[in-house]
Every structure is written in C-alpha cells, then in structure tokens.
Amino acid sequence: MTTRILETHGLVNIVSGHTIIDHLDFDIEEGELRVLVGPNGAGKTTLIDLITGRFPPTAGQILFRGQNIAGWPRHRIYGIGISRKFQVPTVYENLTVFENMAIGLRGHRRAFSSLVFRVTSEHAAQIERILAQVNLLARAADEAHTLSHGEKQWLEIGMVVASEPRLMLLDEPTTGMTRDETNTTAKLIKEIAGARSVMVVEHDMSFVRQIANKITVLHQGQKLAEGSVREVENNLKVAEVYLGREKISAAP
C-alpha cells in the first residue's frame, strides 16, 4: 500500500488580485520521483514556494505526512524534512565546496554556526560520499566561485541531499547546463530518488523524458493533466496549451 508524503487540497494563492494557484489538488507518494511541467506562469515555482513556506497560501491545505503545514515558517518546514533547490544556485561563493557542504549538513542553523561547529570524521565521510555522488569530490578544496555554472547546480543539489530531507524540491536543476551536464544530472537525480521523495520542476522535455515516471502538467494554477510520459505526450490539451498544438514527443 502506497503512502502519500505530500498532499494539497483546494490550494489557492492570490497575489495582487491575480490567482496564481487555483484550488489545486495534488499529491506525491513516499519514494516517488515526480516531474512538474507547464508553460511560464503556470504556478510551478509558486507551488514550491507555498510548500516550503516562502509565502503563505490564500486558502487550502498542504499536508506533509498527514500534517497541515500551510503557513508554517520556513525553518519549521525545513526541520520536518522538506528541502528545496532554487532555479539559480544559492551557494556561498567564497567558501570551499567542502565548507558549503558542511553548511548543508547543518542547514537549519545560521551559516556562521555551521562553520564553527566541529566537522567530525563521520561528517567528513558523509560529505565526501555526497561529493563523489555529485561529481565534485576532486573540487572539495576549491572555492565555489571557481566552479562552472553546472557544477554550482550540482553543489546545491549535494547540499540539499546533505540535509537529509524526506522530500526534495528541485526547481529547474538543469538551467544553464550543457547537454552533457544535463545528461549527468538526469542520472544523478534518478540515483538520489527512491531513498526520498523528489519533485522536479523542469521545462527541458529531453531531460524530463530521461527521469520521469509520472508527470503533472500545470496550467493557470490548475492540474491540466497527469500520467506517464506517453500519456502526457499524447494528451491533446497538453499539446495545445504547452507546445502550441505539437505533441511533446514531436521533438527529435
């Protein structure tokens, strides 16, 4: 029997009279890798903002493991096991890759506190395992500003993994990446999923095809369609709204 880790019921977000999320019912199962797609302005990033407490919803419920967390402050939501990666990498440029990862381990504290706490041999081993996973072990002693854009994306993913979340929310993790980096990221995300639930917001459909088992399509803050890659590819409403009457599968 599957268990839902996240559910929204009648979720609404209205900003300056504009409805961004419109009575959205949505759910993710424990251990699931879900991909969220949709045209610009569909409400994808706003949904992540609401789940992580960046903004309170206007109405509705956000249930995490059965508990309504709608309107909770961000630090409390982080503390129960929800972590996010932003569209633009948010790493500490003048700290080393290893130091950034140490902050990830203690992300619920201030950055200063994270740097002054003693990194035990167990912590160091954990950091090194994750850095190997995100292809950055050889860069551990380098300052983050020396990384390429794609490597900074991997570093932030590593920091999120280091916080040991139950639910990871990744907002356009391949933005600015080369095709090779994107392919590597697809393998990485599939590897880190399963031990935790992962929701990925993306617009690169080639990347989506590599990782998705189930896709949710948002349009004007509502669920337009949901299903497998094939089901979404052949959905005429999705083709019309999202790709101008061309099927997703039409891309080479």
Q: Residue 5's pLDDT is what?
A: 97
Please check whether residue 99 is in contact with residue 119, taking contact to mean a CB–CB distance below 8 angstroms.
Answer: no
C-alpha–C-alpha distance, residues 180 and 165, integer Å: 27
Residue 143's contacts (CB-CB under 8 Å, 6 or more residues apart) are 93, 94, 95, 96, 97
- Going by pLDDT thresholds of 50, 70 and 90, the confidence category of residue 176 is confident
C-alpha–C-alpha distance, residues 67 and 137, integer Å: 38
Give the range among 4-13, 86-95, 109-118, 185-194 with minimum mean pLDDT.
Answer: 109-118
- Stretch 137-154: mean pLDDT: 96
- Nearest residue to 48 via CA among 222, 170, 215, 189: 170
Interval 121-138: pLDDT, tens:
888 999 999 999 999 999
Structure tokens at 177: 């990446």
- Going by pLDDT thresholds of 50, 70 and 90, the confidence category of residue 244 is low
Q: Residue 16's pLDDT is what?
A: 94
Which strand ranges, in their side-by-side order, compose the sheet holding 67-68?
Answer: 18-29, 4-15, 59-64, 67-68
What mean pLDDT, rounded, does the chain reach?
Answer: 89
To the question of pTM greater than 0.85 for the whole model, the response is yes
Residue with the two structure tokens 């990221």: 185
Answer whether residue 247 shows pLDDT above 50.
Answer: no
Can you state the angle between helices 97-105 and 149-162, rounded to 10 degrees?
Answer: 30
Q: Residue 249's pLDDT is what?
A: 42
Q: Residue 242's pLDDT is what?
A: 78
Give the range among 114-118, 154-158, 163-167, 234-238 with minimum mean pLDDT.
Answer: 114-118
Q: Residue 109's pLDDT is what?
A: 47
Query: Cβ–Cβ contacts within 10 Å for residue 70, how many?
Result: 19
Percent helix / strand / coil, the chain, rounded to 5: 40, 25, 35
- Stretch 79-84: mean pLDDT: 94
- Going by pLDDT thresholds of 50, 70 and 90, the confidence category of residue 240 is confident
Structure tokens at 163: 């916080």
CA distances from 125 to 140, 170, 210, 250 (A): 12, 25, 30, 45
- Going by pLDDT thresholds of 50, 70 and 90, the confidence category of residue 115 is low
How would you class 124 by CB atoms within 10 Å of its CB: exposed for 0-12, middle for 13-18, buried for 19 or more? middle
Please check whether residue 209 is in contact with residue 239, taking contact to mean a CB–CB distance below 8 angstroms.
Answer: no
Length in residues, the chain: 252
Answer whether residue 171 shows pLDDT above 90.
Answer: yes
Exposure string (b/e) for 37-65, b if CB count within 10 Å is 16 or more? Answer: bbbeebbbbbbbbbbbbeeebeebebbbe
